[in-house]
């Protein structure tokens, strides 16, 4: 586990962008796993900048997203399809036929999930998987209690997630109650993991993830068992760590 604590969200995003860009330069046919949420937004802006200003070429890259809400059409502004096209894919030269995002309107979800796993395998597996982390330690929509060996499947959203999401929807009937998510076992098969976290809101989850025991109650702790996991966090997300000095932060924990 390589842990880097970086001063600010901006510098953290720059470091993460460097790693993704380096992967794409080194292997233009890379398979990259993408995440949604607020944390990677700046990382994606910086990748767009790399593409515009330095010609970072995504034309041969294949992408797989971690998750998607069930029941939301891809054009819905809360769908993760919409998020990815708005925040990244519309602005780079990725080939749309190389983009994979779970299909929240699939008729047969179990069949779709099995197909998604097959597509990852057919692409040769994921070279680099970008990850965020929930304040409760979730990875993608693998909420606490998810099997650490799980594969891509449908999950029921927690009551809290459903409530939190309600504010984004004019029509209460559209608030998703289920999501399709890669499993923890699926995520663990990526060659490299790149987990980004920012802000004090994530400090406890980061502490559990890096210093706690591996447990399904904090799915992100599984990164401890991955041979090439790279965790990049800003100083605020590092405030609860006991071993901060080990990660280059000198001041003692209060």
- In 3D space, the residue among 201, 206, 205, 200 whose CA is nearest the CA of residue 232 turns out to be 206
Which CB, 111 or 201, lies closer to ligand PGA? 201
Q: Which two tokens stand for residue 74?
A: 């891809």
Catalytic residue selected from 136, 165, 189, 247: 136
Residue among 138, 142, 226, 230 flagged as catalytic: 138
234 in catalytic set: no
In the bound state with ligand PGA, the residue whose beta carbon lies nearer, of 46 and 98, is 46
Site string for ligand PGA, 115-134 (x = CB under 6 A): -----------------xxx
Residue 88 in the binding site for ligand PGA (CB under 6 A) = no
Active-site annotation holds for 118? no
38 binds ligand PGA (CB under 6 A): yes
What is the rounded CA–CA span in Å between residue 249 and residue 175? 41
Torsion of CA 198, 129, 166, 218, to 10 degrees: -70
CB contact at 8 A, 183 and 153: yes
- Judged by CB under 6 A, the stretch of 3-11, 36-44, 56-64, 180-188 that binds ligand PGA is 36-44
Q: What six digits make up the tokens of 173?
A: 């009937």
Nearest position to ligand PGA, beta carbon: 37
Instruction: Mark residue 100 as left, alpha or beta (left: phi above 0; alpha: psi -120 to 50; beta: remaining).
Output: beta
Interface segment toward ligand PGA; rule CB under 6 A; list 34-42, 50-58, 91-99, 244-252: 34-42
Known catalytic residue: 67?
Answer: yes
Residue 37 interacting with ligand PGA (CB under 6 A): yes
Closest CA to 120 of 187, 53, 168: 187
Q: Which residues are catalytic?
A: 67, 136, 138, 143
């Amino acid at each position: 586990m390589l842990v880097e604590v970086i001063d600010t969200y901006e510098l953290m995003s720059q470091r993460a962008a460097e790693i993704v860009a380096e992967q794409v330069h080194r292997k233009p046919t890379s398979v990259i796993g993408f995440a949604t949420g607020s944390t990677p937004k700046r990382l994606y802006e910086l990748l767009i900048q790399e593409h515009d200003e330095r010609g970072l070429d995504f034309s041969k890259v294949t992408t797989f997203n971690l998750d998607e809400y069930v029941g939301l059409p891809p054009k819905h502004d809360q769908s993760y399809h919409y998020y990815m096209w708005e925040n990244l894919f519309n602005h780079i030269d990725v080939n749309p036929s190389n983009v994979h995002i779970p299909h929240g309107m699939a008729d047969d979800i179990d069949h779709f999930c099995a197909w998604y796993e097959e597509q990852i395998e057919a692409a040769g597996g994921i070279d680099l998987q970008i990850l965020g982390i929930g304040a409760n330690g979730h990875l993608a929509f693998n909420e606490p209690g998810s099997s650490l060996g799980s594969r891509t499947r449908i999950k029921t959203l927690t009551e809290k997630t459903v409530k939190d999401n309600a504010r984004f929807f004019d029509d209460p009937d559209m608030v998703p109650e289920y999501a399709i998510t890669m499993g923890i076992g699926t995520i663990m098969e990526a060659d490299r993991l790149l987990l980004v976290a920012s802000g004090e809101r994530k400090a406890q989850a980061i502490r559990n993830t890096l210093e706690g025991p591996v447990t399904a109650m904090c799915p992100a702790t599984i990164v401890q068992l991955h041979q090439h996991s790279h965790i990049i966090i800003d100083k605020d997300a590092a405030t609860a760590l006991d071993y901060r000095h080990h990660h280059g932060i000198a001041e003692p924990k209060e």
